[in-house]
Amino acid sequence: MKNPINRRDALFGSLALSLGASLSGCSAPSSDILPSAAKLSPRPNFLFLPIDDLNDWIGVLGTNDDVKTPNIDALANQGVLFENAYAQAPICGPSRASLMSGLYPHQTGIYGQVADSSLRDAIGAVSGANFMTEHLRDNGYYAAGRGKIFHNAAPEGTFDDFAREGEFGPKPPKRMAWDSNRTHTDWGPFPETDSEMLDYKTARWGEEWLSRKRDHPFFLGLGMVRPHAPWHVPQKWFDMYPLEDITLPPWLEDDANDLPERAKSLTDVPQMPSIEWAIENNEWRPILQAYLASITFVDHCIGIAVDALARSEYADNTYIILFSDNGYHLGEKSRFAKMSLWERSTRIPLIVTGPGISPKRIDAPVGLIDLYPTIIELSGLPRKPENAGHSLLPFLNDDGEARDPVTSVYGKDNFAVSDGRYKYIRYDNGEEELYDLQSDPHEWTNVAGDLEYRKDRDRLAAFIPIQTHGAVIVDPNSTRIKPK
């Protein structure tokens, strides 16, 4: 079988050349690679590539030996790969509300799924902050998008041109592997062709959009829904991962023995397959196969969009920002789900490339909360004091800086603090977890009570916010939300 993701290296090569030559239109001296995008003429464009439920399984991160992501890897090798990037919430809605508003979930009180139509009012109750695309539009940008940018589509008024077709389909007439009406979870090869897939349509829509003449600087968002469940993609992507070749992720059967009770109750998601069910029914590898196939299919769609940019007249002046909104467990910690504060749910890929950016890997902790201020600074607009994150420009500028640990939250007052070496978790009842990720990358040994780690525990605990809002809380046993 011909490899369906064997893309033309020349197209990626052309993008690399265009990025390297992109300062030809800048008035800044060559020593200031990215001083302030106000000096860029014209203002730069943005190709924004959110991916839904992609954990840190991409080739360049080395976290999974089986995964095939040649297009994402090529992008990372041309720009800045943030090796310790974290979502601010391990679930789609609050994560995207946070990154698009520039506010942490504990500031907005949005911890669960809020309809896009209600998002503006929910955030407006605690802050006057406007959304990222609104701020760009107010300052001369044209915002266009398709697919999943916010939780479902986009609040009215946030884009000049927006389209969202379907939800997480297409889906077969009858469930193929997992029958529960409380979750999208299912897996198996479907449909027959890429052209029937929403992400393929989004990528081709973006390709056509980039081929047209634009009179204003633009923000183009192409939101991919895979590998969000159901894990359905055409058979050819499954064929790239023979079951017998798939490696099971590390798993410790008695891992929960040292977990606090709140950790167990908060992460109990009964509508998902359990690890015991997956093992007993020989479905662990088929689940992995379907998730990996979904990743590689999305990688193909990313390649379509990036290649289209490389062929366009905008290649020399467009930043590409690729990321996932949260991670996903595939058997680790005995679960098949997101919605936890452990690494597999919170650590995500984040790549930035574009004019003047040289390839590098950054191990400092950063978050999706940092994207809004980064885009503002790259576009040369005044900084917004209400942005809770910090611009990533120093890292793009080769002026690396020390960064505070990054916080993530799942439900009111359940926090994780990550600095790349340690992961500290404190729940709303005061129970704690602490993991030394250097010696314990799978988070199997909770050392929160060990005197040896008291100093690191206290250091990380100091970054947990004191004041939090509770407008919306998560019902851990349901996909619904409920008012406080």
Average pLDDT over residues 236-254: 97
- Reported confidence tier of residue 457, pLDDT bands at 50, 70, 90: very high
- Reported confidence tier of residue 118, pLDDT bands at 50, 70, 90: confident
* Known active-site residue 301: no
**Would you say residue 31 lies in a domain?**
no
Contact 415, 432 (CB under 8 A): no
- Residue 151 confidence (pLDDT): 87
Average pLDDT over residues 187-196: 98
pTM: 0.89
* Nearest to 177, CA basis, from 193, 166, 189, 167: 189
**Would you say residue 241 lies in a domain?**
yes
**Would you say residue 462 lies in a domain?**
yes
Q: pLDDT at residue 5 above 70?
A: no
* Nearest to 416, CA basis, from 404, 432, 429: 432
Q: At 291, phi and psi to the nearest 5?
A: -65, -45
Q: pLDDT at residue 114 above 60?
A: yes
- Residue 174, CA distances (Å) to 67, 170, 177, 179 in order: 28, 12, 9, 9
Domain of 265 in residue numbering reads as: 9-19+42-483
* Known active-site residue 92: yes
Q: Total structural domains in the chain?
A: 1
Would you state the structure tokens that stand for residue 284, as one six-digit string? Answer: 């662990």
Contact 247, 15 (CB under 8 A): no
- Residue 216 confidence (pLDDT): 94
**Would you say residue 280 lies in a domain?**
yes
**Would you say residue 35 lies in a domain?**
no
- Reported confidence tier of residue 69, pLDDT bands at 50, 70, 90: very high
C-alpha 155 chain-centroid distance: 20
Q: Quick: pLDDT tens for 305-338.
A: 999 999 999 999 999 999 999 999 999 999 999 9
Where residue 386 sits, what CATH number does that domain have?
Answer: 3.40.720.10
- Residue 116 confidence (pLDDT): 84
Q: Quick: pLDDT tens for 21-59.
A: 332 233 232 224 443 443 445 899 999 999 999 999 999
- Reported confidence tier of residue 398, pLDDT bands at 50, 70, 90: confident
Could you say which of 92, 106, 329, 469 is catalytic? 92
* Nearest to 431, CA basis, from 261, 256, 254: 261
- Residue 125 confidence (pLDDT): 84
Q: pLDDT at residue 356 above 60?
A: yes
Could you say which of 106, 135, 151, 228 is catalytic? 151
- Residue 303 confidence (pLDDT): 98
